[in-house]
Structure 1
Amino acid sequence: MKEIDIRQAFTIEDHVFIDVRSPGEFDESHIPGAINVPIFNDEERAKVGTTYKIKGQDPAKWLGMELVSPKIPHLMQCIREVSESGKKPIIYCWRGGMRSKSVATFSEMAGLQVQRLTGGFKQYRQWIVDNLNETILPNRFIVLHGMTGVGKTMILDRLKGKGFPILDLEACAGHRGSVFGGIGAPVYNQKTFESNLYHQLEKIKGLPLVFMEAESRRIGKAVQPEFLLEAKAKGIHVVLETSVEIRAKRIYEEYVIPYKSEAQFQERVKEAVTPILKRFIPAIKDELIQHIDKEDYKNLIVLLLEQYYDPRYQHKLEEYDGPFYHVRVDDIEDTVKHLTKIILQHQRDSTLVQG
């Protein structure tokens, strides 16, 4: 079988990582884009591990063989489907040990062309730790500021659709930055955030100007690295502004309408708001709870904006030196046109300086 390291893996066109670890390990963190084809489920993995600790290596290997044998046709079919789609499978497990070696061996016996990642996910994780630094930054960021609900994410999406490079930190974190941010999306841990961040930055490395949102240091469960916070502070700052009514409407349409029919939505909103209730005076706290109990999410959003997010926003803005462009966001498309003019102006100014 052909064995490759993580550096070589990234140079292979049309590759797909096949993660043969258990579903629990995969969910905890994996190489972005990987497909989980587990050789053991979580319970089986625990049994093999316990057998290894109590009885030793050989009994654990025998148990593993008994558990895996009935699954071999299914495992091979999964990998075969990847190969037949025109992709090149790269098999990995935790440390590049028995699990990936076994699957790679079965694949070769079945006539499938695969490669095995030496060092497994552990090597990949070390690669991220070693390479997630200022060397993969763009030259400068255009940083979008704005009160909660102003439409920063929508604007980034529109800019991306028009071909402008962006850094989407919310996508990296699986969280959209407010108490509603984890509703309707998986919230990633620090390892997954850093993996996603590395791969996004690698794509925009060295570009002259890249749009990003002025996210807080912590996004959901993840914390931004210091080098990125410093680059953000030195960026070109744009403050997006619109009314409370428009912002509340956008939040309701994005966070509430798609999910409010789900059985646990009200409970999830309550769980999201509960941690910040201690920050309010009793009267506001009671009003927030009443809105949740009545499922009056429109008024809940307005109250959170006026009593929690807006006062905090001004404090955050004071952390930046500026100067600031101020842009109205009453209409998203008009805003995108305005931002396009800003980036083109900076590109012209940069060309004149270089000339």
Structure 2
Amino acid sequence: MEGPKEIFLKDYKMPDYYFDTVHLNFSLGEEKTVVSSRIAVFPRIEGSSPPLVLDGKDLSLVSIQINGKALKEEDYHLDARHLTIRSPPSGKYDLEIITEIQPQKNTSLEGLYKSSGNFCTQCEAEGFRKITFYQDRPVIMAKYTVRIEADKSLYPVLLSNGNLVEQGDLQDGKHYAVWEDPFKKPCYLFALVAGQLQSIDDTFVTHSGRKVALKIWTPADDLPKTAHAMYSLKAAMKWDEDVFGLEYDLDLFNIVAVPDYNMGAMENKSLNIFDSKLVLASPETATDADYAAILGVIGHEYFHNWTGNRVTCRDWFQLSLKEGLTEFSSDMGNRTVERIGDVSKLRNYQFPQDAGPMAHPVRPHSYIKVRILNHSPSYICLQS
């Protein structure tokens, strides 16, 4: 087995190819999931045609086509981490790849995995390569259209990024949903959720008068505990408009809260995914600190809609550029109390790390694996 590889900032190279559009088709199954991708590829330097190297891990390759023509085995090289197209065309072309994955056996909880009966994704930082072969780096930004197909009785809710543009029933008890994200994004912001969930619904009217549908999805028993989360979301949307003039840019904003999400919270474009403890609250079970944490984290992830999603980092050495401080929690509460809490977090978590073997510059010179240790309004950690 190939060991961990250290990545150095000094070795950064611009990609040879960029992607314009990505069409993904998921057929979710109990034994395996089939993922079909169609990618519009174009070279960074017009007329050049170096090999195209795609990242991939724990994938079973079914087929590859370029402009509708199947590639032969000698046309590409496949190893444990990469799929290399040896001699691609010199101009723009469509690359179609079909893979099979097993989310039920994905215990890494990166990429697409299944837990408690639901399909869920976590792609930051490098989980997308466990879904399909792709240039899994933030600088590769593309417009996504996603079609999800699954058993309707098992997975009545099918969610992805962007706006829901089509849905319907299929034969054999299946149904489908098509999601379209009109704005380019890196693959680490891709998200998919499918399962037995229900939503609490509301609307937000933007400064320009557009109505945005808001939905918070949870298991049915948890719906009564989502009122504060919805308040927090609407407060964050209004604050971003009032303070920075940043209006939400889609017709729908989804939040999903599940009890076994491994990241705490994630800012996927228009489909934020949270661990339940950062969304659910009721006067019978939650403290003032719980309410404040929910307000802060929901705001933090929403603000990524612009700072981190529409404007993102070039590479993972720039992680700190999208995980900055905000004044939202201070404006919503008591500035002095919030400051005391932020300093306490820095002393308890950040300072010990900076004084230990995990210490590194804000922009490190190298890393072995990027791992987001804490999504919070005040600090972010990079494991190197």
Work out whether the TM-score is over 0.5. no
**Structure with bigger gyration radius:** 1
Which bin holds the TM-score, normalised by the shorter protein?
under 0.3
- Greater strand fraction, Structure 1 or Structure 2: 2
TM-score, normalization: structure 2?
0.24
Greater relative contact order (Cα 8 A, min sep 6): structure 1 or 2? 1
- Greater helix fraction, Structure 1 or Structure 2: 1
TM-score, normalization: structure 1?
0.25
